Chain A
């Protein structure tokens, strides 16, 4: 009785009052029996020693779900026995018995997402099965391997696994793969090229990803780690090429360019971009990170291009973003000398130096 009262109390104070979702909404804690809803403190206490007191009594929903989750987590998906496969398949229909409330509202969150874990394990099993077939293709028929790898998400995951598990990949095979994925138009080709780049360090694979005419997060991540693949000199050439294309990678490329060693970095390239409509602001951010700023150049740029919003705004932006203490003094001087012709920019800068 005491436990029931405690559970009811927990339910009522977690989210006082009832709520409703319009139409077919998410599961709410008000729709659950109180003994399935746990507070943050109860879960913290449980997590400290979840399995020590199970023996000899009926388990709570939380304890049962924990046990199932732990069992599923411990299954290695690459080699499932029949029993394990059946066990996981049954779990894909599991209805959670332990929930917590969403932090901001009364949506019910399963404490253990057993269904998702089981589905993922089964997916990994499928991937392992496909990977063993694709391993054969990888050794015997690269073109067919490439074709298979871009069919669907299972195949691409399997192909990635083949590449990850390969002890080494001959350079000629690497080039065959790169050439094939370069001309493949599926989204998965970028995934495969990125995998190849990460596993082998092959520069051509990196270049192939960066030159793909698609919008892919892998490009940004590869740019982030460009120094793992290219020397400073090589990076300078590659980054400048990307910057001049003025595409979605150009802003990132500019910021990375500004961090290149002084021996390869051409600062004037960055300064000249301040007047560019597309990349001027990114150039300003890049310049602001340089160890030294050419304050005279910036002031002259504002004076000499006083009618260009872009040139003036971005030159001021360099000073705004820079952590160099001299930058703020220069801003003061610019305002005092009334070099800024645009009333709104003047007003904005005035708030910076207040």
Chain B
């Protein structure tokens, strides 16, 4: 039985039973009438396809695709986290390996991404599904995605409000009229506040699935007002017929309870990032609890998200709340309760930007009321791709700053002269130095350094480039410093972005992920001051490199970076101070001899000291002579 026949029978039954019947209105491409409203472009209808199309997949197809990812890939596991009012299962999907440890045996961080909380926001399930698909397609990329799967746990709820979403897809072009309007009202009045069918926002308690039923179309709870923090703060939150009705109590709804269950899969105490995906406006709404460090990190992260999208032509703007002020949204809830970076992502089209049309007008449409929720089918593929790039960057950032894993120095013949690596125990690391020979000033060496995460991305010409919109120092920063007994010295070594390794080069290659290591050749400066008695000095190698999201190194890998109370813990800078900025890692000490070069004078920093060096030579010569005559 087709949809039209079913609807006609439903209307007839309702009329015969005496129930009031709502007027059904239709969105069209170009026809206006008393019950039709033109939006200026074709109104998309759901498409049955597991594979992403230029359009919006039906819920059944999205769900089938999600389930296929879970059964087909070891890196994806599905969980039923609750049931809706219509007893439909709500699913969450975990992306990661089967353990809860990073590659080096530490506790994995977790992230939670929510989609489809408001039924009419079709962009959201598609964008979240794209993230899921990319995490599977790229699972062996030896890069960012493989790193995330091996070292983090990402929990994704692609469609939270299943009942509501199905209702919008059941009536993809139809809605019911603004409350209080009648058949004789003008079309603009009738379409001003559509509440059911394609424009349903809330969930569906005490709502049948018949569009024309008058009495239930305002029912439902706004799942993004059903949360504990700021519950009931807006007057309309306690009005059952309101678009933003928050329910009888916080977490009264099965869907919000399901979201809490999804958080437990992180598990909850490992969460470091939450995003709730909505449309529309092309902004991030960023809550601000009273925690300055958490807010600074979050706002910086939001700025990176904006940069990543702006570089692709779509500027997602962070709108920062006043500290301590908010609404009972899921983003506010996790921000205030868990003290992690969170936001409400409002996908395009834009709204309120100078010189950019609002809503559907952005795509050449009429700008009709609510047309912003109807993204043209031709645009969704681009939106999916743009947002995947930005979202992956957020997960990579919150996985934590990079730390050095290995330092190796070889001489010009390839012989190892220094080797150190960080050994992991639970909750800490210790530096193991396995080779520690003396280097010689004036000689050339190769320095190899590896990190725990991929540090760079490359373009199609295989050149190291910035990750979309980011602006980090692409070359590693290396210096030698010490005190030869005659004053401090510091020498900067030259390194470039082409030193990063994505394949084997001269016997060196990346450790686990492409561009997680670099190698560079350097010459110990010939004017390094040394001890006048030993002819040697100890030097520190100071290493720094921003990861591709712009985080500096954890300067002290001995303590494991983690997250607590809204900020990084054990994230030391070059002075050993824990904070949120990191810095150069100077844990690697080498010995250098300075034979054949002048010794430095006391208190000078480099060069000089020829008299002492001459004495040393003479003494060496006398020693040899004595030995000959023994």
Q: Which residues of A contact B (CB under 8 A)?
A: 13-28, 39-41, 43-45, 47-48, 50, 66, 69-70, 73, 102-110, 112-113, 115-117, 119-120, 123, 153, 215-217, 219-221, 223-224, 248-252, 255-256, 281-282, 284-285, 288, 309-310, 313-314, 316-317, 320-321, 342, 344-345, 347-349, 351
Contacts and interface: CB of A to CB of B under 8 A. Distances in A.
A25 B319 contact: yes
A281 B72 contact: yes
Nearest to B236: A40
5 contacts: A50-B186, A250-B51, A281-B68, A285-B61, A317-B67
B287 to A, nearest CB: 10
B188 A69 contact: yes
B77 A347 contact: yes
B608 to A, nearest CB: 53
Contact of B283 (A26, A113, A215): A26
A349 B72 CA distance: 11
A113 B302 CA distance: 29
A27 B352 contact: yes
B50 A285 contact: yes
Interface of B: 32, 40, 42, 44-45, 47-55, 60-61, 64-65, 67-68, 70-74, 77-80, 98, 178-181, 185-189, 192-193, 201, 224, 233-236, 239, 242-244, 278, 281, 283, 285, 299, 302-303, 306, 317-322, 324-325, 327, 329, 344, 346, 350-354, 357-361, 364-369, 376-378, 381
Contacts of A284: 64, 68
A70 B188 CA distance: 8
A44 B178 contact: yes
Contacts of A28: 319, 352
A248 B68 CA distance: 17
Contacts of B357: 115-116, 119
A255 B61 contact: yes
A18 B325 CA distance: 8
A48 to B, nearest CB: 4
A202 B239 CA distance: 53
Contacts of B320: 19-22
A281 B493 CA distance: 53
Contact of A26 (B44, B53, B187, B317): B317
A309 B73 CA distance: 9
A26 B351 contact: yes
A281 B50 contact: yes
Chain A interface main SS type: helix
A339 B523 CA distance: 62
B53 A248 contact: yes
A242 to B, nearest CB: 12
B281 A102 contact: yes
A345 B52 CA distance: 24
A120 B40 CA distance: 8
A56 to B, nearest CB: 22
B381 A24 contact: no
Given A47-B189, A47-B193, A217 B359 contact: no
A43 to B, nearest CB: 7
Contact of B51 (A27, A44, A217, A282): A282
A169 B564 CA distance: 71
Contacts of A220: 47, 49, 53-55, 377
Contacts of A69: 188
A252 B367 contact: no
Given A70-B186, A120-B40, A221-B377, A252 B48 contact: yes
A342 B189 CA distance: 59
B180 A221 contact: no
B3 to A, nearest CB: 13
A251 B47 CA distance: 10
Given A22-B306, A282-B51, A320-B71, A109 B366 contact: no
A73 B322 contact: no
B319 A107 contact: yes
A329 B565 CA distance: 48
A217 to B, nearest CB: 4
B352 A105 contact: no
A264 B157 CA distance: 39
A187 to B, nearest CB: 9
Given A26-B352, A50-B189, A105-B283, A215 B381 contact: yes
Contacts of A17: 321-322, 324-325
Contacts of B353: 24-27
Contacts of B302: 22
A300 to B, nearest CB: 19
A250 B45 CA distance: 18
B601 to A, nearest CB: 54
Contacts of B243: 40, 103
B244 A22 contact: no
B54 A47 contact: no
Contacts of A73: 32, 187-188
A313 B244 contact: no
A27 B319 CA distance: 10
Contacts of B68: 281, 284-285, 313-314, 317
Given A43-B192, A73-B188, A224-B45, A24 B71 contact: no
Given A40-B236, A104-B327, A281-B72, 9 more contacts: A25-B352, A27-B353, A45-B180, A47-B189, A48-B189, A109-B358, A255-B50, A285-B50, A285-B68
Contacts of A21: 283, 317-320
Most buried by B among A14, A70, A153, A344: A344
Contacts of B324: 17
A44 B77 CA distance: 45
A47 B378 CA distance: 33
A345 B68 CA distance: 11
A110 B358 CA distance: 9
Contacts of A153: 364
A321 B65 CA distance: 10
A128 to B, nearest CB: 12
A252 B52 CA distance: 10
Contacts of A25: 283, 317-319, 352-353
B615 to A, nearest CB: 65
